[in-house]
Structure 1
Amino acid sequence: MTPSRAMAAEALLSGHDWQKREANEEARALLEAAVADDPGDSVAWADLGLTYWLEVRHLAWGGGRREMAQVIEAVERAVALGGTASAHRLLAEMRLLSPFPEMRSPVDALANARAAVTIAPDEADNLAVLAHVLALTGRGADAMHHIERAMRLDPTPPDWYRQVAGLSYLVSQEPARAAEAFGPLHGAGTFAGTRWWPGWLLASSLAQAGRIDEAAAIIHAAEGRRPERSISAVAQSLDGWSDRDSRERFLDGLRLAGLPD
């Protein structure tokens, strides 16, 4: 029964739909039964960790440090059992983007992202996560190489690839290219979701490229739609951006666009 439970759970998780918490909870119950039956199932452990990670990532679901600790425990067990590329990739993402600073580790994130690419070098998600780690730790040129390769492998990339691409260009001090990457993400969903930054990133990119009026319009559109209303509030939301220089350039772009300190 374990394989069927795991397959049913994977089907529930495949959409990553933040609006369907009940699907995440159903998947977790299936996976808890699967690992109870087969404690050596590394894929089931990784997927179980993913259910807790989604709980943490989506603010409306209320996940906190307890769930974050369960994420790390489950995914580290998956890796120790000879985890797949997806387990390493998930651990990299968690160690990069945990909302709790004491649970972040850029070094661990980079090591696991590289491990995922070593295991499956032609899997676009692995390359995109590695690029994300590289961008947020200040290695813009390397990040550009990997995200551009990921986007060649996936001709219809998800939106988060575009965010990583824009980040890579912004860190590499190519704000015009960054604005081009972030542009398709701008619209009704720009400031929606959880820990989703494209509105701020687009505004900063435009400002750094000299397009101040367009950047200011985006900042104005965010009023009343985002809880962050100042530079300091935006800075607090930037989980995982550990490279101080590129982070400060980003915030300076928002200042140019009119966001108050």
Structure 2
Amino acid sequence: MARSLSGRVALITGAARGIGLAIATRLAEAGAHAIIHDRDAAAATAASADLRARGLAASSLIADLAEASAPSAMAAELKGSGAEPDILVLCASVETLETWDAVSESAMAAQTEINLHATLRLLQAFLPGMLARGFGRVIAIGSVQETRPNPTHFYYAATKIAQTNMILNLARTTQAPDVTFNILKPGAVLTDRNRAVLAQPEREEQVRARIPLGRLGKPEDCAGLALLICLPEGSYINGAEIAVDGGMRL
């Protein structure tokens, strides 16, 4: 693969596994220095070590985005190491399955803190540097739940569509020639988070029946689109909501 992103630094939050790791891997393969953020220190360290063992540029960054000070501390650490990100992939999220009449205060607080508050704090920490340097790519990982929510995702879906509104607002109002903002919306992707749900009796069959392609997605299905957005060939993609769901939203 041509190393089209050589010299770029990509910060991917929640990237120790799943979609975040798949995107980090693809960006690293294209030449970027992939910074794998996670609150799971062991998993993030192992993931970045695996990439380095393949001759790719990668490092880990450990922080708990539930802490209000985390994004500013992350920015200070990366600036000190000379690795300020040109690419920010907002993948970390909290997803609690509760119906509208059972949403708990703790679940509301956790999902709001990570899915919304941390998004804004990360943008405030890293977007100014992108604007000053004249290049930036912000990619938020949304969800098919935004357009076709399940009853068990009542509050989660609301936080994700609010996050999308933030990104679209910036796409319309920032007006910097080479700083873009986009949303990828995965559907039923086979990640660690989804495996437990899909393992329930008949659950996987029910999910497959809602997908026109008739199969589950893989984390890697999101990585190619993320790469395209970051490449020169994707520089005119701005404010896009791109579904990666096999048609599940239809």
User: TM-score with structure 2 length normalisation?
Assistant: 0.30
Q: Which has the larger radius of gyration?
A: 1
Higher relative contact order (CA 8 A, sep 6+): 2
User: TM-score with structure 1 length normalisation?
Assistant: 0.29
